C-alpha cells in the first residue's frame, strides 16, 4: 500500500508514445492536465471534463479511455498513447489521418484528437470493423461540425486501405 | 472544473483496501473505474478526503464461476467481462445488457461493482443484478455479509452499504438452460443512460420481468404461467403500478408507455429463445 499525500507532488513514471517519460503531480491532477501542462503534449484536447464529449480520449495500456476521468498518479507504470503518436514521421500522416483529410472528416478539429485515438485503436484491434461498429465507437464522441457522416466514411476508407496493406505485405 | 485535493492510496490487495475504508469511513471513497466518481469530483459534487484505488490489486480482478453463479470482484472492468467468451452461454442476459452500459471508452475503465455501488436508477448493471437473483458481498475489515440485490438498492444512488464497508464482489445467478432472455432499452442517444430499460427471463414455470429507469431502484415482478396473449394486459397493469414521475427527460405518461412497448419487445425476445 502506498499513500500519496494531497499537498505534495509525487513522481509519475510511465511510457508516453513508446518512450519513457516522467513528471510530478498532485494526486488531484487529471491525466488530461498532466499530459498538456506537465508533459507539453497539447495534442490531447479538453472539453467537458466529465466524460461526455470524448475530446480527451487517449490510449491507456492499449484501451481507449477518457484522460479527464483518470488521475495522473494512476498511470504509474502504464503505457499512454496520444494523438502525437499517430503520424509515422514529421510531415507524414497515418493512413487514418490521411483518410480524415481526404474525406473532410474535420472542420474546427477540436474533437479530432479524441476521435482519432478511438478509431486508431478500433482499426488496430478489429481490422474488419464495419460502419455499425464504427458508429458504436463514435457514440463516445461529440463533434459539432461534421455531422459524423464524413468521419464514418474516412474510417471505412482507412480500414480498407489497412486491410490491403496487410494483404500485400 | 477540477477536483478538490485528496490523499491517494494505491492498494496491492483487497485486504488493504478494506482496511483503509474501515478506518477512514465516510471521508474515504473507493476509486474503481472512475467513470462516475471522477466526473462527480470534477464537478465538486463529491469531495472525498481519501481515494482508495482498488484497481492495482490483482486479487480484486478475479471472475469466479461457483455454485451456479458468476462472482465478479471489485476491479473487474465492464469491457473485460464483455470480452469473456464464456459469458454468452453462462449468462446471456448479462452479455446482452453490458453493451448498453455507456460507450466503449467508458466500459474500458468502468467496473461492474462500481456501477452497483453507484446505484443509478437507470443503470443496466444494477437492473441485471436484480433480475438475476444477484447478491452483493460487502466487507468491513475482515467481516463479510451478503445482501440480496433487491435489498441492497434503497433509493436513488442510495444503498445498504455503510460508509466503512466496501463491495468485495457481486454474484449473478447463471441463466438456466432453456430459459429465454430478452432486453430492450430506450435512451436519447446511443450510450446515454436509459430513460427506461426492460429485461425479461422466460422459463416454463415463470416469467420474470425487471424495469429500470422508472422507480428509484430496479423493479422486479414474477408471473406464474403468463401466456403471450396476456402480456399486454399484464404490462399495462404493471406500468400503472410503478412510481412513474415526469422530469426533464420524459413525462410520467411517456415512461409508462415505454414500459408497455419495451416490455413487449423484451418478453417477445425472451419467449423466442425459451424452450
Ligand atoms: C459518458 C458516460 C456515459 C455513461 N453511460 C452509462 C450508461 O448508459 N449506463 C450505466 O449504467 N452507466 C453509465 N455510465 C457510468 C458508468 O460508466 C460507470 O462505470 C459506473 O457508473 C461506475 O463504475 P466505475 O467503476 O467507473 O466506478 P467509480 O466511478 O470509480 O465509482 C462510483 C462510485 O462507487 C463507489 N465504488 C466503486 N467501487 C466500489 C466498491 N468496490 N466498493 C464500494 N464502493 C465502490 C465509488 O466510491 C463511487 O462512489 C456512463 C459514464 C459516462 C462517463
Ligand atoms: S474532456 Fe474528457 S470527455 Fe470531455
Ligand atoms: S470538427 Fe469541430 S467539433 Fe468535430
With beta carbons less than 8 A apart as the criterion, state whether B41 and B144 touch.
no
pLDDT digits (tens, 9 = 90+) for A45-104: 999 999 999 999 999 999 999 999 999 999 999 999 999 999 999 999 999 999 999 999
Predicted confidence at residue A166, as pLDDT, reads 87
Interface of B with A (CB under 8 A): 1-12, 16, 20, 31, 34-35, 38-39, 42-43, 49, 51, 53, 55, 79, 102-106, 108-109, 189-191
Instruction: Please say if the pLDDT value at position A168 is more than 90.
Output: no
Q: Is residue B138 part of a domain?
A: yes
Predicted confidence at residue A167, as pLDDT, reads 86
Is residue B166 located within the same domain as residue B68?
yes
Cα angle value B1/B2/B8 (rounded, 5°): 155
Predicted confidence at residue B26, as pLDDT, reads 84
**Can you tell me which residue has the cell 422466460?**
B202
Which ligand 1 atom minimizes the distance to the CA of B111?
Answer: 25
Is residue B242 located within the same domain as residue B197?
yes
Determine the Cα–Cα distance for residues B69 and B208; give it in Å rounded to an integer.
Answer: 18
The b/e string for B120-134 (b: 16+ C-beta within 10 A; e otherwise) is bbbbbbbbbbbbbbb
Residue B105 backbone dihedrals phi, psi, to 5 degrees: -70, -30
Tell me the fold of A95-167.
DNA polymerase; domain 1 (1.10.150)
3-state secondary structure of A93: coil
Number of domains in chain B: 3
Domain membership of residue B14 as a residue range: 7-53
Instruction: Please say if the pLDDT value at position A137 is more than 80.
Output: yes
pLDDT digits (tens, 9 = 90+) for B209-250: 999 999 999 999 999 989 999 999 999 999 999 999 999 899
The domain locations on chain A are 10-85, 95-167
Which ligand 2 atom minimizes the distance to the CA of A54?
Answer: 3
The whole-angstrom distance between A26's CA and the closest CA on chain B is 8
**pTM for the whole thing?**
0.97
Q: How confident is the model over A115-125, as a mean pLDDT?
A: 97
ipTM over 0.90: yes
What are the cell numbers at B64? Answer: 469466479
User: Which residues are CB-neighbours of A55 under 8 A, at least 6 positions away?
Assistant: A44, A45, A46, A47, A48, A110, A111, A113, A114, A141, A142
Q: Is residue B1 part of a domain?
A: no
Residue B2 and residue A30: Cβ atoms within 8 Å?
A: yes
CATH of the domain at B109: 3.30.465.10
Predicted confidence at residue B205, as pLDDT, reads 87
- Looking at domain A10-85, which of 3.40.50.970, 3.10.20.30, 3.40.920.10, 3.40.50.1100 is its CATH number? 3.10.20.30
Is residue B89 located within the same domain as residue B162?
yes
Which residues are bridge partners to B198 per DSSP? B184, B211
The stretches in chain B having pLDDT less than 50 are none
Instruction: Please say if the pLDDT value at position A147 is more than 80.
Output: yes
The H or E element that residue A14 is part of is strand A10-16
Amino acid at each position: 500500500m502506498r499513500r500519496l499525500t494531497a499537498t505534495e507532488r509525487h513522481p509519475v513514471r510511465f511510457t508516453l508514445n513508446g518512450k519513457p517519460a516522467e513528471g510530478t503531480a498532485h494526486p488531484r491532477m487529471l491525466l488530461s492536465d498532466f499530459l498538456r501542462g506537465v508533459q507539453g503534449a497539447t495534442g490531447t484536447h479538453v472539453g467537458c471534463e466529465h466524460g461526455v464529449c470524448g475530446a480527451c480520449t487517449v490510449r491507456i495500456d492499449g484501451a481507449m479511455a477518457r484522460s479527464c476521468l483518470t488521475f495522473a498518479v494512476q498511470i504509474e507504470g502504464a503505457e499512454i498513447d496520444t494523438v502525437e503518436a499517430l503520424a509515422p514521421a514529421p510531415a507524414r500522416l497515418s493512413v487514418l489521418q490521411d483518410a480524415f483529410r481526404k474525406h473532410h472528416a474535420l472542420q474546427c478539429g477540436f474533437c479530432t484528437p479524441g476521435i482519432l485515438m478511438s478509431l486508431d485503436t478500433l482499426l488496430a484491434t478489429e481490422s474488419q470493423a464495419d460502419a455499425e461498429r464504427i458508429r458504436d465507437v463514435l457514440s463516445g464522441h461529440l463533434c459539432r461540425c461534421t455531422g459524423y457522416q464524413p468521419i464514418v466514411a474516412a474510417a471505412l476508407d482507412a480500414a480498407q486501405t489497412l486491410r490491403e496493406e496487410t494483404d500485400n505485405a | 472544473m477540477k477536483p478538490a485535493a485528496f490523499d491517494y492510496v494505491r492498494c496491492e490487495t483487497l485486504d488493504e483496501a478494506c482496511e483503509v475504508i474501515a478506518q477512514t469511513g465516510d471521508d474515504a471513497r473507493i476509486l474503481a473505474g472512475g467513470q462516475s466518481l471522477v466526473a462527480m469530483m470534477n464537478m465538486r459534487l463529491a469531495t472525498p478526503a481519501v481515494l482508495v484505488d482498488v484497481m492495482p490489486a490483482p486479487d480484486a480482478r478475479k471472475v469466479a464461476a461457483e455454485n451456479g453463479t458468476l462472482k465478479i470482484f471489485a476491479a473487474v472492468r465492464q469491457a473485460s467481462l464483455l470480452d469473456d467468451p464464456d459469458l454468452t452461454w453462462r449468462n446471456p442476459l448479462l452479455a446482452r445488457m453490458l453493451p448498453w452500459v455507456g460507450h466503449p471508452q467508458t466500459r474500458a475503465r468502468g467496473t461492474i461493482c462500481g456501477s452497483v455501488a453507484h446505484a443509478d436508477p437507470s443503470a443496466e448493471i444494477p437492473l441485471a443484478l436484480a433480475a438475476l437473483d444477484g447478491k452483493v458481498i460487502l466487507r468491513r475489515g475482515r467481516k463479510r455479509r451478503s445482501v440480496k440485490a433487491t435489498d441492497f438498492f434503497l433509493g436513488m444512488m442510495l444503498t445498504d452499504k455503510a460508509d466503512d464497508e466496501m463491495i468485495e464482489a457481486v454474484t449473478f445467478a447463471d441463466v438456466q438452460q432453456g430459459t429465454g432472455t430478452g432486453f430492450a432499452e430506450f435512451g436519447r442517444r446511443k450510450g446515454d443512460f436509459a430513460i427506461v430499460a426492460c429485461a425479461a427471463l422466460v422459463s416454463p414455470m415463470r416469467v420474470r420481468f425487471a424495469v429500470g429507469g422508472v422507480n428509484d431502484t430496479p423493479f422486479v415482478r414474477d408471473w406464474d404461467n403468463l401466456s403471450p396473449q396476456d402480456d399486454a394486459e399484464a404490462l399495462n397493469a404493471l406500468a400503472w403500478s410503478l412510481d412513474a414521475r415526469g422530469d426533464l427527460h420524459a413525462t410520467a405518461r411517456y415512461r409508462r408507455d415505454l414500459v408497455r412497448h419495451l416490455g413487449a419487445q423484451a418478453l417477445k425476445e425472451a419467449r423466442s429463445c425459451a424452450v
